[in-house]
């Protein structure tokens, strides 16, 4: 099962391509913070569109907050950027006409942390240590890449294996 896991954000989106729970590739998408939001959305759209287009995917996993999970302390600008990034991701997915062959799944923040460490508020270092203990090399990766790997691995171990067996 080919999985693209996204730690979605407007400034830096971490992504990881996995075959099951084997990491094939990981990187980040960055947008220019000096540009207006509409141009940053376009940068993100183009990068996601290319990722979707160049990989034969079965599942796209996106860690993105839902309406009810956003802290009341979140600024309007941050909220607009988060929800805008999620919308851009959905549009890029739809433009690829992937609906018949691939599933887009939104995961709540804390999903991977909870499954890998038992604590949905675990520090990034704790999550990365849990992945290293399971044989994943984290050296040289930034937090966004490590988060994307954790999203893919956690989902695979919790739900993906079952789906693969049902195919």
Domain ranges of the chain: 2-166
Average pLDDT value for the chain: 88
Residue 95 banded pLDDT, cuts 50, 70, 90: confident
- The closest alpha carbon to 58, from 98, 106, 7, belongs to 98
CATH of 2-166 given 3.40.50.1820, 3.20.20.70, 3.40.640.10, 3.30.420.10: 3.30.420.10
Structure token digits, residue 16: 């990881």
Cα dist. 167→55, 57, 78, 99, 103 in Å?
20, 15, 40, 17, 14
- In the DSSP assignment, the letter for residue 34 is T
The tens digit of pLDDT for each residue in 11-63 reads 999 999 999 999 999 999 999 999 998 999 999 999 999 999 999 899 999 99
Task: Give pTM, 2 decimals.
Answer: 0.89
pLDDT at res. 68: 45
């Amino acid at each position: 099962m080919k999985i693209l896991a996204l730690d979605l954000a407007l400034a830096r989106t971490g992504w990881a391509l996995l075959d099951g729970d084997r990491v094939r590739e990981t990187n980040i998408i960055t947008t220019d913070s000096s540009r207006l939001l509409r141009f940053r959305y376009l940068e993100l759209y183009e990068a996601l569109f290319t990722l979707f287009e160049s990989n034969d995917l079965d599942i796209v996993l996106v860690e993105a907050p839902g309406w009810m999970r956003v802290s009341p302390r979140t600024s309007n600008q941050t909220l607009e950027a988060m929800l805008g990034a999620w919308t851009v991701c959905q549009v890029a997915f739809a433009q690829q006409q992937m609906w018949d062959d691939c599933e887009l799944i939104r995961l709540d923040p804390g999903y991977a942390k909870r499954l890998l460490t038992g604590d949905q508020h675990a520090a990034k270092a704790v999550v990365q240590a849990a992945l290293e203990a399971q044989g994943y090399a984290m050296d040289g990766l930034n937090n966004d890449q490590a988060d994307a790997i954790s999203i893919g691995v956690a989902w695979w171990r919790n739900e993906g294996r079952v789906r693969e067996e049902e195919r």
